[in-house]
Amino acid sequence: MLPGSRIFGVETEFGCLVRSDESRPESAVELIKDYVFDELKLGLLDLSARDEVFEPAESGGFLINGGRLYVDAVGSHLEYATAECQTLKDLIANDRAGQRLIVRAVEEMGLGEDISIYSNAVDHFGGHTFGCHENYLVEMEEDFFAIKAPLLYPFLVTRQLYAGVGRVGGHQLVGGMGPTLSEIEQNPVDYIWVSQVYSAIPDQTVEYQLSQRADHILKTIAGRVRFNRALINPKWEHFYAHDGKHRLHLLFGEQNQSEYAYALKVGTTHLMLRLLEDGQLSRRFSLANPIRALRDISRDPSYRWRVVLGDGDIVSALDLQNEFLQICDRRYRDTSEETNWILDEWASTLHSLATDPMSLDDRLDWVAKKKIVEMSMEDMGVDWTCDSLHSIDLEYHNIDPEKSLFHAWKEMKGMRSIVSELEVLDAATDPPQNTRAKGRSLAIQEIMKRRMPRGYVVDWNGVLFDRTIYLDMPDPFDTYTD
């Protein structure tokens, strides 16, 4: 394992729109999940519950590409978790492959006209928000979340300058508006372990902002996140731990359609985690109020992006990002080809954000979406108060390339790509070749060959064969192909 090597993966929660009066999103996502496993035979369903409440038996399973597709009982939404990856190209190819599998299932079932799946982060009308959670294997001690994690807040709050997916309008969070007894009875799982409940109402003061989720983040760090969403959700799960490293679970992330923005987001975060592990982050970058800064940056139409530091100084979010870039460049330049790409593109993007943000419409989601919306406004002769703009915002995130406004813009503008369509196609069945996802994939395929429908258990860190033989896979860097 080379210095600076890291395992990362991303979990994406999908929105589902059903146009037929005879169907519901909850049944639609079950159909999609069952088709992938039962008809396409691309993986193994869990035969036992991973969680009796949130992931009961047969709510999902592991795929032969190393990823995991399942229906989360909270909100009954479809979710895809990538395989463990060591490179940005593997991560993006595996992530996009998951989307293509979902699109394929919808089309082959003949439901393309009735069902649309979206990789976005907000329901403009219902006020709900969906997650895109990043996971990084990080060196951790017991005091990590109290002492070290706060050093990341300034970076996580300001990286939306290039990682934000853009949003028409905004939400205000208000308390005391639910849930009603009827709502609890209809969806009891949604309210388990909930200590507070809020509702979201439209904020008419906001026309457009960088982030879809900034309005919904309440804490810097929190465990119970259903109605208490945070930047970081502390996890100590054994299956994502090895040799003093544990899972850092970032909740404040968004579903980048742009592969470039996706790679830059994960790549810069990876380098910042190296700084954290190397003891190179200090409290001089601390923000006075990280959550307020998060919203202020997202909502600033002037693009000056000012934030208040803990000592009272007012600086630009771009200044902070440039500080982080310079420290990473001095320490990690030439450690790998991928690292140099991250550093070069980080610098180029920050320069363009400082001089002409709108020139980044071939790279950044929030810029591309804003231009698409503005073109539509001009064609329709409407202003920012028009509700139809929310539909344009939504269709930017349609995962079907034939319907997606992002893909239409990509063809017209030439959005920068990180992987080819052939690499995405290969990643639908081929796992990353340098992590334990490869060994797990081989084990799944062997079980499928042996036709052992009741004699297996598959998890991230191990596979049980024939109820008696257990293949232990604790090290995510090992392929376990032997």
pLDDT, tens digit (0-9, with 9 covering 90-100), for 242-295: 888 999 999 999 999 999 999 999 999 999 999 999 999 999 999 999 999 999
Determine the pLDDT at residue 193: 44
Confidence band (pLDDT; 50, 70, 90) for 465? confident
Q: Is 384 helix (H, G, I), strand (E, B) or coil?
A: coil
Is there a contact between 367 and 413 (Cβ–Cβ < 8 Å)? no
Say if pTM beats, i.e. exceeds, 0.85: yes
Does position 190 have pLDDT exceeding 70, yes or no? no
Structure tokens at 192: 């388990």
The amino acid at residue 392 is I
Name the DSSP letter for residue 351: H
Is there a contact between 433 and 479 (Cβ–Cβ < 8 Å)? yes
What Cα–Cα distance (Å) separates residue 142 from each residue in 207, 235, 247?
43, 11, 13
User: The tokens 């978790």 sit on which residue?
Assistant: 81
Q: Is 296 helix (H, G, I), strand (E, B) or coil?
A: helix
pLDDT tens, residue by residue, 155-187 = 999 999 999 999 999 998 886 555 666 665 565
Does position 307 have pLDDT exceeding 80, yes or no? yes
Does position 455 have pLDDT exceeding 90, yes or no? no
Determine the pLDDT at residue 154: 98
Question: What's the CA gap between 59 and 47, in Å, rounded?
Answer: 9
Determine the pLDDT at residue 174: 80
Question: What mean pLDDT is reported for the chain?
Answer: 91
How many residues are given for the chain? 482
Question: What's the CA gap between 466 and 315, in Å, rounded?
Answer: 61
- Beta-bridge mates of residue 247: 137
- Beta-bridge mates of residue 171: 202
Does position 311 have pLDDT exceeding 90, yes or no? yes
Computed on alpha carbons and rounded to an integer, the radius of gyration of the chain in Å comes to 22
pLDDT tens, residue by residue, 235-252 = 777 777 888 899 999 999
Tell me the angle at which helices 317-332 and 337-355 cross, rounded to the nearest 10 degrees: 160
Confidence band (pLDDT; 50, 70, 90) for 192? very low
Catalytically active residues are: 72
Exposure b/e, 370-398, CB count within 10 A at least 16 = b:
bebbeebbeeeeeeeebeebbebbbbbbb
Is there a contact between 254 and 133 (Cβ–Cβ < 8 Å)? no
What Cα–Cα distance (Å) separates residue 344 from each residue in 264, 325, 349, 385?
10, 10, 9, 39
User: The tokens 């709900």 sit on which residue?
Assistant: 128
Question: What's the CA gap between 33 and 96, in Å, rounded?
Answer: 16
Does position 301 have pLDDT exceeding 70, yes or no? yes
Does position 24 have pLDDT exceeding 90, yes or no? no
Determine the pLDDT at residue 437: 98
Share of the chain above pLDDT 70, in %: 92
The amino acid at residue 373 is V
What secondary structure, in 3-state letters, does 151-169 show?
HHHHHHHHCHHHHCCCEEC
Does position 77 have pLDDT exceeding 80, yes or no? yes
Does position 194 have pLDDT exceeding 50, yes or no? no
